[in-house]
Amino acid sequence: MSTPAIPTLEAAMTRAAEVRPKVGGFPYLAEALRQAGVTRCAMTVPSNATLYLTEAGPVAVQGEPLFTGMSDIPPFDRAALIAALRADQAGETAFPEFVRGCWQAGVVRYDVDLTARTCTYFGAGEESYVETYPEVTL
């Protein structure tokens, strides 16, 4: 069964790529996704897999895993996570580097609530850090 969820998500990502600035671009991506009916994005960091919950149906996107086999999980390091976030927000890293920075900071998953405009980052022991992002106009 085919749904319009994937083409809708792809169109939103394309739109976001066209309008988002290099510095501080995440809120523009989030707003393009929200306007397309995405309500939540859940990323499992080591597998680099993202679940998008959309009004048209859920979509899974599989990126390249950070590793194969077994790996120790780094301890949750809030300061390192914030440093990775600020580097990304400043346009100093691309998404793959950001994901690796999250992993090195002990983040095993994160959840983006596009309605509340929050990103919650979780460690293996359920440690968490919540950051809000600003509302933008596309």
Tell me the per-residue pLDDT of 77-93, one tens digit each, with 9 for 90 and over.
999 999 999 999 998 99
What pLDDT, on a 0 to 100 scale, did the predictor assign at position 1? 61
Burial call 29-64: b when 16+ CB within 10 Å, e when fewer:
bbbbbbebbbebbbbebbebebebebebbebeeeee
Q: What angle do CA 136, 98, 16 make, to 5 degrees?
A: 35
Question: Would you kindly state where each structural domain of the chain is located, as residue ranges?
Answer: 5-130
Residues 31-85: tens digit of each pLDDT: 999 999 999 999 999 999 999 999 999 999 999 999 999 999 999 999 999 999 9
Q: In this structure, which topology does domain 5-130 adopt according to CATH?
A: YdfO-like fold (3.30.1810)
